[in-house]
Amino acid sequence: MKKFINSVDAMLAESLDGFAAAHADIVALGPERKFVRRRSVNANKVALVSGGGSGHEPLHAGFVGTGMLDAACPGQIFTSPTPDQIVEAAAAVGGRAGVLFIAKNYAGDCMNFEMAAELFAGAAATVVTNDDVAVEKSTHSTGRRGVAGTLVVEKIVGAAAENGMDLKSCAQLGSEVNARTRSIGVALTSCTVPAAGTPTFALGADEMEMGVGIHGEPGRKRVALASADAIAEQMLGAILADGDGLSGEVLLLVNGFGGTPAIELYLMYNAARRILEQRGLGIARSLVGSYVTSLEMAGCSITLTQLDDRLTALWDDPVHTAALRW
C-alpha cells in the first residue's frame, strides 16, 4: 500500500486537521473532529448538514462554506458517520429555520441520518441522493447509490438556502434536483482501503469496471478497456437510456475518482461534450475535476443534471468553499 500515511488509525484525523488548518478562513473543526462547519455560522437560514464515509474528498467537507453546506460529518473511510456526529453538527449550525440533512443512499448513511433526524431537537428534513444509474441495488445500498450528483444537489440547494428558502421548499428542491440528475462511473484501477491494505478488487491490464461504485463496489460489468470515446458512449448511453431520458439544457460534470489527472478528465469531458451535442442536448454548465473521489482509484464518473432557468441561476450563485468557488 503506497500512500502518504502515518498510521491507519490516525489517517482521517490527520487529514482533517490539515484540511481545517489549510482552510481556516472558511471552516472550523467541531469537538473531537465530529464535524466540519462554516467558520461563521448564519443562524437565520436553513442549515445544510451532509456527511458520509471519508475517502471521497473533497466531498463533503470541501463543500462547506457560503452558498453550499453549513456542516459536514466525516465518517471513517467508507464508513457512515454516527448519529451523534450528525446531531452535534446540526445543533452547532442549525437555527430557527431548521436543518436539512443531505445523505447519499447507502444503508448505513440512511440509517444514521434518520436516527439523527429523530434525535435532533429542532426542525429537520432529509434529502437522500440516488443518482447512480449503474445498478438498482448494490452491496452497500437498497436502491440506487448516491454518487457525484450529490455535489449538484448540495450546490443548488445551498444557494437556495443562502437566498432564504424555507426548510420544506429546500427539501423539495433537493429531491427535484436529485430526480433530474443521473450519474455513472467507470474504474480503470481499484482503490486500496487503508485498513484492508490490499486493492478492493482486481482488474486485468486490459479491463475496466463499468458502473463502479464510489467505494469500489461492483458495477454493471467487467469489460475490455476501450477508447475514451467508446467509454463515454457507454456511459452516456446508460444515462440517456434511463427513465424518460434528458432533454434540453444540461449540466455536465466529469468527475475524477482520485487517481486520474486533469489532462484525462478534460479529454473525457471533450468526448462527452461531442456525444451530447450530436444527440441534440445543450451543455449549459460544466464542471471538470476530482470532486467525489474513491481514494486513489483511477477512473471517472459522468453526471448530467437537466437544468431550467431557476436551477441554472442557483448553480451560478456565488459559492465559497475549499473545493468550489465562484
Rule CB under 8 A: say whether 54 interacts with a copy of itself.
yes
Q: Give the one residue of 16, 100, 156, 171 binding a copy of itself; rule: CB under 8 A.
A: 16
- Tell me, by CB under 8 A, how many residues bind a copy of itself: 57
Here the cell at position 86 is 450528525
Rule CB under 8 A: say whether 3 interacts with a copy of itself.
yes
215 is a catalytic site residue? yes
| 144 touches 182 (CB < 8 A) | no
Find the shortest distance in angstroms from Cβ 42 to a copy of itself. 20
Q: Give the one residue of 136, 137, 266, 282 binding a copy of itself; rule: CB under 8 A.
A: 266
Question: By CB under 8 A, what part of segment 180-239 binds a copy of itself?
Answer: 188-189, 205, 208, 225, 227-229, 231
Residue 100 β-bridge partners:
48, 125
- At which residue does the C-alpha cell 433526524 appear? 117
Q: For residues 84 and 264, which CB has a smaller minimum distance to a copy of itself in the complex?
A: 264
Q: For residues 17 and 118, which CB has a smaller minimum distance to a copy of itself in the complex?
A: 17
| Rounded CA separation 148/249 (Å) | 19
Question: Which stretch, 16-24, 28-36, 119-127, 209-217, contacts a copy of itself (CB under 8 A)?
Answer: 16-24
320 is a catalytic site residue? no
Q: Give the one residue of 42, 169, 175, 270 binding a copy of itself; rule: CB under 8 A.
A: 270
- Strand 249-256 and strand 299-306: the pairing is antiparallel
Three-class SS of residue 234? helix
To the nearest 5 percent, what fractions of the chain are helix, strand and coil? 35, 25, 40
Rule CB under 8 A: say whether 17 interacts with a copy of itself.
yes
Q: Give the one residue of 48, 134, 298, 307 binding a copy of itself; rule: CB under 8 A.
A: 298
| Rounded CA separation 198/179 (Å) | 36
Q: What is the dihedral of CA 50, 56, 61, 63, to 10 degrees?
A: -80
CA angle centred on 313, ends 309 and 317, rounded to 5° = 175
The contacts of residue 165 (CB under 8 Å, 6+ apart) are: 46, 173
Rule CB under 8 A: say whether 113 interacts with a copy of itself.
no
| Rounded CA separation 38/241 (Å) | 39
Catalytic, out of 23, 140, 215, 320: 215
Question: Which stretch, 97-105, 139-147, 236-244, 269-277, contacts a copy of itself (CB under 8 A)?
Answer: 269-277
Here the cell at position 49 is 448538514
Q: Enumerate binding residues for a copy of itself (CB under 8 A).
A: 2-7, 11-12, 14-19, 21-22, 54-55, 57-58, 62, 188-189, 205, 208, 225, 227-229, 231, 258-271, 273, 283, 286-288, 290, 293, 295-296, 298, 300, 325-326
Residues recognised as catalytic:
56, 215
